[in-house]
């Protein structure tokens, strides 16, 4: 049963679509069919229809009226011209930074209440007209008292309640899908909505965004690839953020980039490098990379540098997921389809009983046709659709934690397609992946990782005897309950203690031997190796 407030919101969505002359979207939405005829009975739907403007303009206006979640959906679609007709793509681009702003007086009041002082006292000058307005916030230009140019980002009032209302609708629809769609167990709709819930609610906290920006800035300190503006934390609150002003060329302004003789090919390649650097080396990636958030610094046109803004959506991966994902990328670039199949089974993304050779053949069928083609002849959107069909066949489970990365990949491809369609994605990305894998197996890296985990290992070894004693006590209690003879229990206790001692010696021996090998890689000190190895072998022989 659909909750009343959700049903009312669904009817409202239909009414907005119909009022903008988008009846075909209502008809195509199967979940709305039980409610569609009710909306035709509303008198407002008879008189509110206004078929003004093109189809693309009507769709954009409808998404703007429906609110932030729908605007973000339009922003994502706007980066995929390969999947949309031109008339829709041209209009949806306007959702990136040209959403209607809210009132200047409201913006000024929010700033003053958050920072506890008047705008005139806080800034040497403040631009009432916003520089840009998006779904969640808008930004104003300003100058600090010390003369530095900044932008002031102000959250739209009432966003929390508006977004929570539409999240309730998404949860209700996800529960319906979970209950009535046979494939729901694999699609995990409720978990996917849950991931989106966390992402978009985090975006409403500008203090969190400021912290994300500071971390990203540290990650790229001294980099020639990406510039991240400075955040002024003393002027930042949950609903207001002050940040250094970027004066660059918006990445979608191709005519200006060409007029300034920017090396477009290098710019496109650098975009790929930035993405893989963020994902692999930092495990901290900007996950809202639509053109409205990306600028180009053109002081040196032959070595253009990206500048990013809007850090509300940042993605990270668990180390296990990152390992499997990087392995899949590497196997994909090497055309090692069997390894892709094995990784999917090892990671649990497909059921354990899946036959490797069948999955290998299916992946090859999807991926092989796209190799050695420039990006303008490849649509990853289409490839993803075919992979989803393969996923359904093999009961592949949707991984909610990877949805944000998949969205970012689609954005990156859309940017690359617009910038330089001849970009050789494989040639650019493959060396980055190989370097990452080599780095992970170098002795210095192994030593650094071992040293980082050494306190945990020592603590575990210390806890081992007490753990064994507790197991023995619990065994004695269980034995008394079931009547195991005391002599048998004593034998079992002695065996457990002997096994624990042997395991301790083996762990220490392995640590000493591994330490010796790492020592070779770091200092080449064979005396240290001999001492460490002899100690380890002595313990092993004692076992």
d(CA 473, CA 486): 13
Do the bridges between strand 149-155 and strand 132-133 make them parallel or antiparallel, or are there none, so unpaired? unpaired
Catalytic residues: 288
d(CA 263, CA 163): 41
In whole angstroms, how far apart are CA 337 and each of 156, 333, 349, 364?
48, 10, 16, 6
Q: Three-state SS for 154?
A: strand
Of 237, 244, 241, nearest to 116 by C-alpha is 237
Q: For residue 66, give every residue at least 6 positions away whose Cβ sits within 8 Å of its Cβ, in sequence order, or none.
A: 13, 16
Q: For residue 435, give every residue at least 6 positions away whose Cβ sits within 8 Å of its Cβ, in sequence order, or none.
A: none
d(CA 434, CA 419): 26
Which residue bears the tokens 């958030």?
293
d(CA 427, CA 438): 18
Of 418, 438, 416, nearest to 427 by C-alpha is 416
In whole angstroms, how far apart are CA 206 and each of 139, 179, 249, 307, 399?
12, 37, 25, 19, 28
Strand extents, DSSP E, 163-304:
226-227, 240-244, 249-250, 285-286, 294-297
d(CA 109, CA 115): 10
d(CA 30, CA 186): 21
């Amino acid at each position: 049963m659909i909750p009343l407030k959700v049903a009312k919101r669904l009817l409202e969505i239909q009414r907005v679509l119909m009022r903008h002359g988008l009846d075909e979207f209502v008809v195509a939405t199967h979940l709305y069919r039980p409610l569609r005829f009710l909306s035709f009975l509303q008198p407002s739907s008879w008189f509110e229809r206004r078929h003004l403007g093109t189809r693309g303009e009507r769709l954009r206006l409808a998404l703007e009226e429906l609110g932030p979640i729908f605007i973000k959906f339009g922003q994502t679609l706007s980066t995929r011209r390969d999947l949309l007709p031109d008339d829709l793509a041209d209009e949806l681009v306007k959702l990136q930074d040209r959403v209607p702003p809210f009132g200047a007086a409201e913006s000024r009041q929010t700033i003053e209440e958050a920072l506890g002082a008047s705008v005139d006292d806080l800034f040497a000058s403040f631009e009432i007209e916003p520089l840009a307005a998006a779904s969640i916030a808008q930004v104003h230009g300003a100058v600090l008292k010390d003369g530095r140019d900044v932008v002031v980002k102000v959250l739209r009032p009432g966003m929390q309640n508006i977004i929570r209302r539409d999240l309730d609708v998404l949860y209700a629809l996800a529960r319906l899908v979970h209950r009535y769609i046979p494939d729901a167990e694999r699609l995990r709709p409720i978990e996917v909505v849950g991931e989106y819930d966390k992402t978009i609610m985090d975006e409403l906290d500008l203090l969190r965004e400021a912290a994300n920006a500071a971390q990203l800035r540290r990650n790229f300190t001294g980099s020639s690839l990406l510039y991240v503006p400075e955040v002024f934390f003393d002027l930042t609150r949950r609903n207001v953020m002050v940040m250094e002003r970027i004066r660059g060329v918006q990445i979608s302004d191709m005519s200006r980039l060409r007029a300034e003789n920017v090396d477009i090919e290098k710019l496109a390649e650098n975009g790929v490098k930035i993405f893989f650097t963020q994902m692999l080396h930092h495990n901290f990636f900007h996950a809202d990379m639509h053109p409205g958030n990306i600028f180009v610094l053109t002081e040196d046109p032959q070595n253009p540098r990206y500048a990013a803004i809007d850090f509300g959506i940042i993605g990270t991966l668990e180390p296990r997921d990152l390992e499997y994902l990087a392995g899949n990328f590497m196997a994909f670039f090497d055309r090692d389809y069997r390894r892709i199949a094995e990784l999917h089974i090892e990671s649990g993304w497909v059921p354990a009983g899946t036959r490797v050779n069948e999955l290998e053949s299916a992946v090859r069928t999807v991926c092989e046709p796209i190799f050695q083609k420039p990006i303008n002849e490849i649509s990853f959107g289409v490839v993803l659709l075919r992979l989803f069909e393969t996923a359904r066949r093999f009961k592949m489970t949707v991984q909610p934690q990877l949805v944000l990365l998949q969205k970012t990949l689609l954005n990156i491809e859309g940017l690359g397609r617009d910038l330089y369609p001849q970009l050789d994605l494989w040639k650019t990305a493959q060396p980055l992946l190989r370097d990452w894998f080599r780095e992970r197996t170098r002795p210095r890296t192994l030593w650094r990782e071992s040293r980082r985990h050494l306190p945990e290992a020592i603590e575990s070894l210390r806890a081992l005897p007490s753990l064994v004693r507790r197991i023995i006590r619990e065994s004695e209690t269980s034995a008394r309950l079931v009547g195991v003879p005391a002599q048998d229990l004593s034998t079992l206790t002695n065996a457990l203690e002997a096994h624990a001692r042997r395991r301790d010696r083996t762990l220490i021996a392995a640590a000493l031997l591994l330490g010796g090998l790492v020592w070779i890689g770091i200092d080449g000190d064979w005396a240290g190796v001999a001492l460490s190895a002899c100690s380890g072998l002595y313990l092993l022989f004692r076992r």
